[in-house]
Chains A and B, each alone.
Chain A
Amino acid sequence: MTGGLRDLSPAQCLTLLRSVRVGRVGVSIEGLPAILPVNFLVLGGSIVFRSAPGAKLEAASGGAIVAFEADSYAADGAWGWSVLVRGAMSEITRDPAFQSTRVELLRAWPFPEGGADRIVRIEPSSVSGKGFGVALRALAPAES
């Protein structure tokens, strides 16, 4: 144990999000919460992932506020962090900024499985995170 959780800045949160490939989208399905894993990218400050027609895409079309979470931790519990993003979800259709080869990477990754060929984004309205242990040192280098 390493002495409790520390709050992370939004910039630290985005740095950490770029270091992992799987996050989880929290949506409401028939009034009840559900959590769905997705492979994602951080592009232009947005969280970008694939979606199939269904709950996530319905939320996207309605501009609903959704939650997005990613985390990482040491197997022995020596360090860990988690980031929570909230924002409106929308489908990306024509924006050329999101037609990059990096977006093509999403198609090669497994989550979500099946015919999830639409690309959606979450534009963050809030970004917060917490972490503990040595992993955070790299995010806050000493001033020289």
Chain B
Amino acid sequence: MGLQILSREECLERLEHAVVGRIGYVVDGIPVIVPVNFAVLGESIVFCTMRGSKLSWLSNRSRVAFEVDESRPSDRTGWSVLVRGSAHEVTDPEELDALRRGPLSSWAHPSPEHWIRISADEVSGRALSQP
């Protein structure tokens, strides 16, 4: 089985084609993982959530992990990308307006109130293929 380390560009490209990722963060020493619909904007990950949801505690500059993977059990191939960075709520009215008109809508929460951007400070990824 071939293991390939993905470059930052390859990682971001794979993220652009995915729709569901998972946010990981630590609350009082206990890690939490929550799936989100997301979009890649430039070098950031953007997603929306509801106030009062698990993710709404994320304050500006919280350190978070963001992960996307895909696998095909039938031929035992797969890839995963891990982004680590800090979370920031989007508050700029113009940016918010653009996001609300954009393609990103949460499946679970039809009317999101909260937009969060994760800076892609560290990006790593690997792909497994059959030789």
Partner-B contacts on A (CB < 8 A): 1, 4-5, 21-22, 24, 26-28, 32-37, 39, 65-69, 71, 73, 77, 80, 82, 84, 86, 108-111, 113-114, 130, 132
For the complex, give the distance between the alpha carbons of A20 and B51 in Å. Answer: 30
For the complex, give the distance between the alpha carbons of A80 and B35 in Å. Answer: 10
- B107 near A1 with CB under 8 A, answer yes
Of B25, B35, B76, chain A has the most CB atoms within 10 Å of the CB of B35
Of A22, A82, A110, chain B has the most CB atoms within 10 Å of the CB of A110
Q: Please name the 9 residue pairs, one residue from A and one from B, whose CB atoms are nearest each other, closest first.
A: A69-B33, A35-B67, A26-B31, A67-B31, A77-B107, A33-B65, A35-B24, A37-B69, A26-B24
- Chain B hits for A34, CB < 8 A: 24, 65, 82, 84
Chain B residue with the shortest CB-CB distance to A21 = B73
Measured CB to CB, the closest approach of chain B to A29, in angstroms, equals: 9
- A82 near B34 with CB under 8 A, answer yes
- Chain B hits for A86, CB < 8 A: 30-31
Measured CB to CB, the closest approach of chain A to B115, in angstroms, equals: 19
Chain B residue with the shortest CB-CB distance to A5 = B108
For the complex, give the distance between the alpha carbons of A67 and B1 in Å. Answer: 28
- Chain B hits for A39, CB < 8 A: 71
Of A32, A73, A77, A114, chain B has the most CB atoms within 10 Å of the CB of A32
For the complex, give the distance between the alpha carbons of A24 and B126 in Å. Answer: 15
Name the contact of B33 in the complex, choosing from A67, A80, A130 (C-beta under 8 A): A67
